């Protein structure tokens, strides 16, 4: 179980690193919008690559999570803390392609079409800011549930 748990934590690190990297780059995009649409667009493209890294980490984390359940002979399956954790995890994972990816594409399209003054830029940045706040809060909740395992 030690190896699977270590891999699960490495995957969590990849997920968190990609998510935090995307959030930091979004802050840089927010600043760059005031200077240059081209610079903001380049940073937005890099931000989207970090988001893909987070999704890769999430996919691997799901696989290692199943591995942990198998190694523990599904002993945790059905516990409320795990069901809440899995629900949060899948909502957060789905939010990437459903909310963040379209917002990132809208941002790049608005920057290309109208530059920094395009109203679509501000709207996309607001959606991305809210997305990052919810994602990081959800990730913290998942970690707290995994560590504390309330009700066990």
Token representation of residue 133: 């706040």
> Residue 113: what pLDDT?
87
> Residue 63: what pLDDT?
97
Answer for the pair 101, 73: CB distance below 8 angstroms, yes or no.
no
Query: How far is residue 116's CA from residue 92's CA, in Å, rounded to a whole number?
Result: 29
- CA nearest neighbour of 22 among 49, 40, 61: 49
User: Consecutive 10-residue runs of the chain (152 residues): their mean pLDDT?
Assistant: 94 95 95 91 93 95 96 94 96 94 93 85 95 95 94 79
Token representation of residue 140: 């913290």
3-state DSSP of 18-42: HHHHHHHHHHHHHHHHCCCHHHHHH
Q: Structurally, how many domains does the chain consist of?
A: 1
For the chain, the 3-state helix, strand and coil shares in percent, each to the nearest 5, are 90, 0, 10
Which residue range is the domain that position 113 belongs to?
Answer: 2-148
């Amino acid at each position: 179980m030690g190896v699977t748990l270590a891999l699960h934590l490495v995957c969590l690190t990849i997920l968190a690193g990609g998510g935090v990297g995307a959030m930091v780059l979004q802050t840089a995009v927010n600043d760059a919008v005031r200077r240059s649409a081209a610079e903001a667009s380049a940073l937005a493209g890099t931000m989207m690559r970090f988001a893909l890294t987070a999704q890769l980490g999430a996919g691997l984390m799901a696989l290692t999570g199943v591995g942990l359940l198998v190694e523990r002979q599904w002993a945790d399956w059905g516990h409320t803390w795990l069901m809440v954790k899995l629900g949060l995890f899948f909502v957060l994972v789905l939010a990437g392609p459903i909310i963040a990816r379209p917002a990132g594409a809208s941002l790049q399209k608005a920057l290309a079409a109208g530059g920094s003054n395009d109203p679509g830029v501000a709207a996309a940045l607001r959606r991305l800011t809210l997305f990052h706040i919810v994602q990081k809060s959800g990730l913290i909740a998942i970690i707290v549930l995994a560590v504390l395992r309330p009700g066990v």
